[in-house]
Structure 1
Amino acid sequence: MALDFYWYPKCGTCRKAKKWLEENNQDVNEIHIVENPPSKDELTAIYKKSGLDLKKFFNTSGQKYRQLGLKDKLPDMSEDEILELLSSDGMLIKRPITVGSDNITVGFKEEQFKDAWLA
């Protein structure tokens, strides 16, 4: 089964992750995270399945995150409001997000990818 690979092609980290997946014979279903951001329902499912803190899904180094002052606003937002915000703009989402039947990774760290995708 192909992995759902939410990425932004201009992102160097995304390109590294994609190259790693290809070199390790992983089939990927590429999804442009800005043109086709995951819906609120998709994000909710990914978030719940990942076991990660919801704040880990934010691209905290992105311009949009800083422009909106989210560092100060997030602590006062509900989970529902955060998911709504994330699903509204793919540039707010940390990338790549790689979704398989049993695992989810957010961002790219080679060790994490080995653990998740070569098991």
Structure 2
Amino acid sequence: MITYYAYPKCMTCRKGKSWLEQNKVEFNEIHIAENPPTKEQLAQMYQASGLELKKFFNTSGLVYRSLSLKDKLSTMSEDQQLELLASDGMLIKRPLAWDGKKVTLGFKEADYQNSWL
């Protein structure tokens, strides 16, 4: 079962959800702003993803820009970055899908086909 962190008003999240439904993939949707993943969950996802931690940030979001994170992330420790991500779901790139082993950030149909079918 996939845990699908999404923001209901986000068009990309809606596209990902629609793809999962059309392909009959079981998932549990969680409102990312109301219930963001914990620091520990984010650390697990980060380790499993093989991606740079900065890829987990929603760089086009208002919160990211208002905190001037573009300039600050490089000076922050991994622990500080995970703490920051867990503090505000709107900082996390979405949708974020996770099954305990694999993780996808954002919605790209090819990534979903490779990961969730």
**1:103 equivalent in structure 2:** 102
CA distance in 2, matches of 1:102, 1:64: 29
Q: List runs of 5+ in structure 2 lacking aligned partners.
A: none
**2:73 equivalent in structure 1:** 74
CA-to-aligned-CA distance 1:63-102 (integer Å, 9 cap, x gap) = 1100000000000000000000000000000001111243
**2:48 equivalent in structure 1:** 49
CA distance in 2, matches of 1:67, 1:101: 32
Cα RMSD after superposing both structures: 0.8
**1:37 equivalent in structure 2:** 36
User: Within 5 Å, which residues of 2 pair with 1:85-100?
Assistant: 85-100=84-99
Residue type matched to 1:94 in 2?
K
Aligned residues: 117
Q: Segments of 4+ in structure 1 off by > 3 A?
A: none
CA-to-aligned-CA distance 1:19-61 (integer Å, 9 cap, x gap) = 0000001011111100000110111111111111100000000
Q: Does 1:26 align with 2:21?
A: no
**1:64 equivalent in structure 2:** 63
Q: Give TM-score, length-normalised by structure 1.
A: 0.96
Is the contact made by 2:96 and 2:104 (CA closer than 8 Å) also made in structure 1?
yes
